């Protein structure tokens, strides 16, 4: 069965395709339109890309699952009177507005999306077969299920947290004794008053208060936090509390009041201190919440997803300070992961929990975009401005890196989720502390944004103080950890001011070219680490096509590109 997942959220719209229980393709809309965090409409480009990756036409899809995001007015069936007339007039004029399914359900006071949605029209307009199942998924359940599906746990706590979805900001679920229990979160929230409890929005409002963009630049605050003092933390923390059941609440009457408070609060200190303060409030509140849930349930496995858990410093504290055997942060923890998670909800409802649990598998790699194959070599070799360097690609790339060159790797399918993991990455020598300034200048990035290291899994313990509980998450660069003191100066380019780093652990089977470059660099230099940063210019999505890669090389953003076949440089 071919199942298409679609999330038309107002940011991070995406699509995914499953063949029964195997994820075949997953693509964020931004990678195709080149508009950062693109959303606010049905992601038709991402849908077409997923189908192209699978080599299937739209007519081959057997079921469709949808998030409660933005849809054109014409798909809603519940409007009456003047609003119905307005919708028809707008459609005739070609000015059809989009409406939020979530907001329409809240206004209607129920959770039945299909009762107000013209599924037949949606299928017809998108070239899908008439009569196939159409289902809507719950935002937080779609975040939570992948954290369980891609593990082998018999008992676990699944926590989600973000700025909000389906009228809810958190969910807590418990797997125990062969049953999945909902402790908090579910469709019932659509029929209840909105809780004013979101730490994710508090962090986002602080991002705005410092002049950055919400849902886009929160990572800048995480980087700044290491440079500041949390002098403002008590004033913000006083407004949040955690119940004995782990639920978070606040005393703000509504979110505009929270936003006004944060805007005024942030005026009282330097931006580094504001960032350090909101970071500390996030860490301490979430530690208390998750800690109480673990004590209440008695389980020792923790699954995390949702935008809040893009915060790698928070994830480190959870991994190091809570009594757990393993934590798994879903690599596509932002809304980019919802389309695939929605498919998992469909499969769970179709087959039941025991069958669903029996189909689980751990993730080995995330190269779920289009594999361009030799198209990258054709594109680079055809450019008169480029030359092909002699030698075996991995060894040549390692030599260039050791000489201080900036090398991009372009191989396999584009990564799923927000991290570059060796398919669309920029590599550099971590021994050179000045490489940060050089890379930031070339890529037009902020000077305070740290770079991350990649290391072979076999070498990780020698360099990093990574808890065993976090090793699986570290395969996908979703958690920071300490760097051993003897290595901090040797790999200065990837060590944060607090002595931590955000490593990616790799095995050769997942990406032989990436692994072999690292191995050759280690053999040449004695340093088993490379800088890995995403292959993109500031404010642009990560590179997708060969043409985008060639443009970056021509512009001097990088010195070389390594592919499976060759290394390319400017003449």
Tens-place pLDDT, residues 59-76: 999 999 999 999 999 999
Which pLDDT score is estimated for 123?
A: 98
Cβ proximity of 379 and 179 under 8 Å: no
Which pLDDT score is estimated for 252?
A: 98
Comparison of pLDDT for 28 and 82, the residue scoring more: 28
Does the pLDDT at position 446 exceed 90?
no
Q: Domain spanning 140-330 has what CATH number? A: 3.30.420.40
Averaged pLDDT for residues 516-526: 98
Does the pLDDT at position 448 exceed 70?
no
Ordered by start, the domain boundaries in the chain are 2-136, 140-330, 367-570
Which pLDDT score is estimated for 89?
A: 74
Q: Which spans in 37-154 are helix H?
A: 44-54, 81-92, 101-108, 119-125, 139-149
Residue 86: band (very low, low, confident or very high) from pLDDT cuts 50, 70, 90? confident
Residue 92: band (very low, low, confident or very high) from pLDDT cuts 50, 70, 90? confident
Does the pLDDT at position 449 exceed 70?
no
DSSP, collapsed to helix, strand or coil, labels residue 252 as coil
List, for residues 116-157, the tens digit of each pLDDT value: 999 999 999 999 999 999 999 999 999 999 999 999 999 999
Cβ proximity of 503 and 477 under 8 Å: yes
Report helix angle 218-225 to 199-209, nearest 10. Answer: 80
Same fold for the domain at 140-330 and the one at 367-570? no
User: What residues pair up with 328 in beta bridges, in sequence order?
Assistant: 303
Tell me how far apart the alpha carbons of residues 561 and 570 are, in angstroms, rounded to a whole number.
10
Which pLDDT score is estimated for 96?
A: 82
Backbone phi, then psi, for 404, in 5-degree steps? 95, 10
Residue 193: band (very low, low, confident or very high) from pLDDT cuts 50, 70, 90? very high
Which pLDDT score is estimated for 95?
A: 77
Question: What percentage of residues in the chain have a pLDDT greater than 90?
Answer: 93
Which pLDDT score is estimated for 398?
A: 98
Which pLDDT score is estimated for 436?
A: 87
Which pLDDT score is estimated for 463?
A: 98
Tell me how far apart the alpha carbons of residues 138 and 168 are, in angstroms, rounded to a whole number.
10
Average pLDDT, the chain: 96
Please state the pTM of the whole predicted model: 0.96
Does the pLDDT at position 85 exceed 90?
no
Averaged pLDDT for residues 363-368: 97
List, for residues 493-511, the tens digit of each pLDDT value: 999 999 999 999 999 999 9
Q: Which residue has the tokens 């929605």?
A: 342
Pick the CATH number of 2-136 from 3.30.460, 3.40.190, 2.40.10, 3.30.420: 3.30.420
Averaged pLDDT for residues 408-419: 96
Q: Domain spanning 367-570 has what CATH number? A: 3.90.870.20
Which pLDDT score is estimated for 268?
A: 86
Residue 447: band (very low, low, confident or very high) from pLDDT cuts 50, 70, 90? low
Question: What percentage of residues in the chain have a pLDDT greater than 70?
Answer: 99
List, for residues 218-275, the tens digit of each pLDDT value: 999 999 999 999 999 999 999 999 999 999 999 999 999 999 999 999 998 999 999 9
Averaged pLDDT for residues 354-367: 98
Which pLDDT score is estimated for 84?
A: 77
Averaged pLDDT for residues 277-303: 98
Tell me how far apart the alpha carbons of residues 316 and 310 are, in angstroms, rounded to a whole number.
11
Closest listed residue to residue 505, CA positions, set 430, 454, 465? 454
Which pLDDT score is estimated for 93?
A: 75
Tell me how far apart the alpha carbons of residues 282 and 170 are, in angstroms, rounded to a whole number.
14
Kindly tell me the burial class for residue 28, based on how many C-beta atoms sit within 10 Å of its own C-beta (0-12, 13-18, 19 or more). Answer: buried
Comparison of pLDDT for 66 and 447, the residue scoring more: 66
Backbone phi, then psi, for 112, in 5-degree steps? -90, 90
DSSP, collapsed to helix, strand or coil, labels residue 507 as coil
Closest listed residue to residue 334, CA positions, set 195, 200, 452, 224? 200
What residues contact 99, with CB distance under 8 A and at least 6 apart?
70, 71, 72, 73, 76
């Amino acid at each position: 069965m071919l199942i298409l997942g679609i999330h038309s959220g107002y940011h991070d719209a995406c699509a995914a395709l499953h063949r029964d229980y195997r994820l075949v393709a997953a693509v964020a809309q931004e990678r195709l339109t080149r508009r950062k965090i693109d959303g606010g409409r049905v992601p038709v480009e991402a849908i077409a890309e997923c189908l192209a990756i699978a080599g299937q036409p739209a007519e081959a899809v057997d079921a469709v699952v949808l998030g409660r995001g933005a849809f054109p007015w014409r798909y809603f069936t519940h409007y009456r009177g003047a609003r119905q007339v307005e919708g028809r007039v707008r459609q005739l004029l070609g000015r059809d507005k989009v409406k939020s399914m979530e907001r329409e359900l809240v206004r209607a006071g129920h959770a039945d999306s299909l009762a107000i949605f013209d599924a037949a029209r949606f299928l017809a307009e998108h070239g899908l077969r008439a009569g196939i199942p159409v289902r809507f998924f719950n935002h937080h359940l779609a975040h939570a299920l992948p954290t369980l599906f891609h593990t082998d746990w018999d008992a676990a706590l699944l926590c989600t947290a973000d700025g909000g979805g389906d009228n809810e900001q958190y969910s807590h679920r418990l797997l125990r004794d062969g049953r999945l229990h909902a402790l908090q979160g579910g469709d019932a929230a659509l029929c209840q008053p909105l809780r004013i409890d979101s730490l994710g929005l508090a962090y986002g409002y602080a991002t705005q208060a410092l002049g950055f963009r919400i849902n886009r630049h929160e990572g800048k605050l995480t980087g700044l936090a290491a440079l500041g003092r949390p002098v403002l933390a008590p004033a913000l923390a006083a407004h949040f509390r955690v119940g004995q059941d782990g639920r978070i609440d606040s005393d703000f009457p509504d979110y505009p009041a929270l936003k006004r408070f944060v805007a005024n609060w942030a005026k009282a200190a330097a931006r580094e201190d504001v960032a350090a303060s909101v970071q500390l409030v996030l860490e301490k509140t979430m530690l208390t919440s998750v800690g109480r849930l673990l004590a209440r349930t008695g389980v020792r496995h923790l699954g995390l997803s949702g935008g809040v858990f893009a915060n790698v410093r928070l994830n480190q504290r959870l991994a190091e300070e809570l009594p757990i055997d393993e934590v798994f942060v879903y690599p596509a923890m932002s809304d980019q992961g919802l389309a695939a998670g929605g498919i998992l909800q469909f499969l769970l409802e179709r087959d039941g929990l025991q069958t669903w649990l029996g189909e689980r598998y751990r993730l080995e790699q995330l190269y779920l975009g289009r594999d361009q194959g030799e198209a990258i070599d054709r594109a680079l070799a055809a450019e008169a401005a480029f030359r092909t360097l002699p030698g075996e690609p991995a060894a040549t790339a390692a030599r260039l890196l050791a000489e201080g060159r900036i090398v991009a790797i372009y191989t396999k399918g584009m990564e799923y989720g927000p991290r570059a993991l060796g398919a669309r990455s920029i590599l550099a020598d971590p021994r050179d502390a000045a490489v940060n300034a050089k890379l930031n200048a070339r890529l037009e990035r902020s000077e305070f944004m740290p770079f991350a290291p990649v290391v072979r899994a076999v070498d990780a313990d020698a360099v990093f103080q990574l808890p065993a509980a976090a090793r699986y998450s570290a395969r996908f660069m979703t958690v920071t950890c300490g760097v051993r003191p003897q290595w901090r100066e040797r790999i200065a380019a990837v060590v944060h001011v607090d002595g931590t780093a955000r490593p990616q652990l790799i095995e050769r089977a997942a990406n032989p070219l990436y692994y072999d470059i690292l191995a050759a660099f280690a053999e040449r230099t004695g340093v088993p680490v490379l800088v890995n940063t995403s292959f993109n210019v500031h404010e642009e999505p990560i590179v997708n096509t060969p043409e985008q890669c060639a443009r970056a090389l021509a512009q001097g953003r990088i010195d070389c590109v390594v592919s499976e076949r060759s290394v390319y440089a400017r003449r």
